[in-house]
Amino acid sequence: MKDWIWTRERKAAPARETLSRDQIVAAAMAILDTEGVSGLSMRKLGTKLGSGATSLYWYVDTKDDLVDLLIDEVWGEIDVPEPELAGWRAGALLFGHSLRSAVLRHPWLPEVMYTRPSIGPNAMSMGSRGLVLFGAAGFSEHEIDLAMGSVMSYVLGTVSAEVATREMVRKSGRSEENWVTDILEQAQAVAGDYPEMQKSVRRRTSMDLDSGLTENFVFGLDALLDGLQARVKK
Amino acid sequence: MKDWIWTRERKAAPARETLSRDQIVAAAMAILDTEGVSGLSMRKLGTKLGSGATSLYWYVDTKDDLVDLLIDEVWGEIDVPEPELAGWRAGALLFGHSLRSAVLRHPWLPEVMYTRPSIGPNAMSMGSRGLVLFGAAGFSEHEIDLAMGSVMSYVLGTVSAEVATREMVRKSGRSEENWVTDILEQAQAVAGDYPEMQKSVRRRTSMDLDSGLTENFVFGLDALLDGLQARVKK
DNA sequence: CTAGTCACTCGCACACTGTACGACGATCTC
DNA sequence: GAGATCGTCGTACAGTGTGCGAGTGACTAG
C-alpha cells in the first residue's frame, strides 16, 4: 500500500532551526495563489524559503505529495453549516457559496484537483459535515451520498469554468466592466457561422463579469436544490 | 490580438508527401487516450509520426495550440439532439449522456479543459445546437444561457470527478467488482475519525463501480433538469 | 569530554521537457 | 536555368523533478 502523506507522521524532534512542512505548505500556497501551477517549481520554492531545492524532499516525498497537501489545505477552508442553524436547504446554499469562494481564492485548484483523489483529513472532515447536513434533509442513506455528490460536482464544475473565464479576462488586461477580450473577439469570429452562439456571447459579455458569473452560479444551484428537495422521502 | 489556431488557415499547397495537421491531431489523440497528458511529448509524438519533433511546429505554434485542437476534436463528438425529436427534456438528457461518454472516452480532458477557453469551431457548433435545444424549453433568452451552462457544468464537473475515481481504481490494479483499493483503504484510515464518512465510503465501495457512477450521474442530472423545468415561463 | 548517531541540508547529476534558430532539401513558378 | 516558397530537422538552451551521497550541526551514551 502506498505510503500516503496524510498518515506519515512528521519526523520527531525539531533539533536546530529548520524548515517545517507547515512553512513549506504556506510558501507553496502563496506561490500557487499568485503565479498559478506553472509558477510553482521546487527550485523556486526552495529559494523562497532560503534553502536548497532538494531540502524540501526531506518533508515531502514528491512534488505531487506537496500538491496533495495544498489541496487538502483548501478543503480546510470550507465552511459547512450544521443543519440545526438554518435547515439543510439554507445550509447547502451556504456550503455551495463557501466552496465557490474558496476555489476563487485558489484558482489553481481545478487544474490539479481532478487528477487525484481527495482523501486528506480536511477533505474527510468536510465530507463528514456535509453528510450530516444533507442527512438532515430526510434523504435515505444512499440518497444522502448522491445528493451531496451532485451538489459538490455542480459547484466545482461551475466554479472551474468560472475560473477559466476569469483567468482569461485577467490575462487579456481589459477592463472588467466591458470584458470583450481577444478571446471573445475570437469566439465571435468563429461563432459567426452560429448565430445563436453569436447572440449568446454578446448577451454574456454585455453584463458585469462578477454579477453575471454569480447569477449563473446561483441559478443552477437553486435549480439543483429544488430538484433535490422534491426527492426527499418521495 | 492573439493569432488563434482556429482561424489560422493551413499553409496552402501540399507539395510532396508531407505531414498534416489532421495526422498530427490523430496521433496525439491516440497518445492522450492511452497514456494521458503526461504521456504526450512533442518528441514522442514526432517519432510516432516518423519525423523529427520540431517538424510539428510547422503545423502548430505550440504544444498548447495542439491541445486546443484536441479538445475541440472532442467537442466534435458530442451529440446534441434537435428538440423536435423528443422534446427538450429528453434531448437534454441525451446531450448530458453524450457529453459524459465522450469525456469517459477521453479521460485526459478534465486535466486540461479548465485552463483555457473552449472557442473552437466544434465547441461553437455544440454550443449553438445546445442553445437551440434549451431554447425549445420556453426559457427567456437569458435563462437559456443559464440553463445550458448549468447543465454543462454539472455534467463536466460530475464526470471529471468520475474520471478521477476510475483512474485511481484502474491504477490500483484491483478488480472493478470489489474496488476497495489502496486509496479507499487510506480513505478509510483517515476517515476513522469521521464515522459518517466512514460509512459513506463503505456504502460506495460495496456496489459495482460502473453502475454506481452512472446512478450518481443520472440522479443529479435528473434533479437539475427537474429544477430547471420548474423555472420555465415561471 | 569524546564518540557515535541521528536529523537535516544541499550540490551535483541525470533524464526529460518545450521550443527558437538556422541550415538544408524538395518542389513550384518564372 | 534561377528564385522563391514549403517543409524537415539537428542542435542548443533554459528549464523541470528528483536520486544520490557527502556534509553539518545537535543530541545522547559512555
How do residues A161-214 score in pLDDT, each as one tens digit? 999 999 888 887 766 766 766 777 777 777 668 888 988 988 988 888 999 999
Nearest CB to A168 within list B117, B167, B225: B117
Q: Do B154 and A127 touch (CB under 8 A)?
A: no
Measured over the CA atoms of residue A184, residue A185, residue A189 and residue A190, the dihedral's sign is: negative
Q: Which of residues 29-88 of B touch strand D (CB under 7 A)?
A: 51-55, 57-59
Higher-scoring residue by pLDDT: A136, B15: A136
- A79-83, B17-21, B219-223: which range is least confident on average? B17-21
Matching residue, cell 429544488: A226
Question: Residue B70: its pLDDT value, please?
Answer: 98
- Of A184, A164, A206, A204, nearest to A192 by C-alpha is A184
Residue–nucleotide distance: B58 CA to D5 C1' (Å)? 14
Closest chain A residue to B7, measured at CA: A190
> How far is the CA of A234 from the CAs of A139, A168, B6, in angstroms?
9, 43, 49
Question: Residue B5: its pLDDT value, please?
Answer: 67
Asked if B153 contacts B145 with a C-beta cutoff of 8 angstroms, the reply is no
**Nine-digit cell at B194?**
469521521
For residue B76, what is the DSSP state? T
- Identify the band that residue A95 occupies on the pLDDT scale cut at 50, 70 and 90: very high
Question: Residue A19: its pLDDT value, please?
Answer: 80
**Nine-digit cell at A116?**
487525484
Partners of residue B2 in chain A, C-beta under 8 Å:
182-183, 186
Q: Do A161 and B114 touch (CB under 8 A)?
A: yes
- Identify the band that residue A7 occupies on the pLDDT scale cut at 50, 70 and 90: low
Residue–nucleotide distance: B10 CA to D3 C1' (Å)? 24
| Nearest CA distance, B47 vs chain A (angstrom) | 27
Query: Which residues are CB-neighbours of A108 under 8 A, at least 6 positions away?
Result: A32, A33, A36, A37
**Nine-digit cell at A124?**
474527510
Q: What is the ipTM of this complex?
A: 0.91
> How far is the CA of B214 from the CAs of B147, B198, B217, B218, in angstroms?
22, 22, 5, 6
Domains and CATH numbers, chain A: 21-60 (1.10.10.60), 78-172+182-229 (1.10.357.10)
Distance between CA atoms of B131 and B119, rounded to whole angstroms? 15
CB-neighbour burial class of residue B192 (10 A; exposed 0-12, middle 13-18, buried 19+): exposed
A contact test, residue of B169, B194, B228 with most A CBs within 10 A: B194
Percent of chain B with pLDDT over 70: 88
Distance between CA atoms of A19 and A149, rounded to whole angstroms? 38
Distance between CA atoms of B103 and B110, rounded to whole angstroms? 8
Question: Residue B207: its pLDDT value, please?
Answer: 87
Q: Do A114 and B154 touch (CB under 8 A)?
A: no
Nearest CB to A220 within list B153, B164, B168: B153
**Nine-digit cell at A51?**
534553502
| Nearest CA distance, A125 vs chain B (angstrom) | 7
Long-range contacts of B210-219 (CB under 8 A, 24+ apart): B210/B176, B213/B162, B213/B165, B213/B166, B215/A146, B216/A145, B216/A146, B216/A149, B216/A150, B216/B158, B216/B162, B217/B96, B217/B100, B217/B155, B217/B158, B217/B159, B217/B162, B219/A143, B219/A146, B219/A147, B219/A150
Q: Do A224 and B150 touch (CB under 8 A)?
A: yes
Distance between CA atoms of B198 and A77, rounded to whole angstroms? 21
Assess whether pLDDT exceeds 50 at residue A84: yes
CB-neighbour burial class of residue A13 (10 A; exposed 0-12, middle 13-18, buried 19+): exposed
For residue B58, what is the DSSP state? G
Nearest CB to B131 within list A7, A196, A228: A196
pLDDT tens per residue, range A13-60: 444 578 899 999 999 999 999 999 999 999 999 999 999 999 999 999
Query: Which residues are CB-neighbours of B129 under 8 A, at least 6 positions away?
Result: B80, B82
B contact test, residue of A224, A225, A229, A231 with most B CBs within 10 A: A224
Question: Residue B169: its pLDDT value, please?
Answer: 85
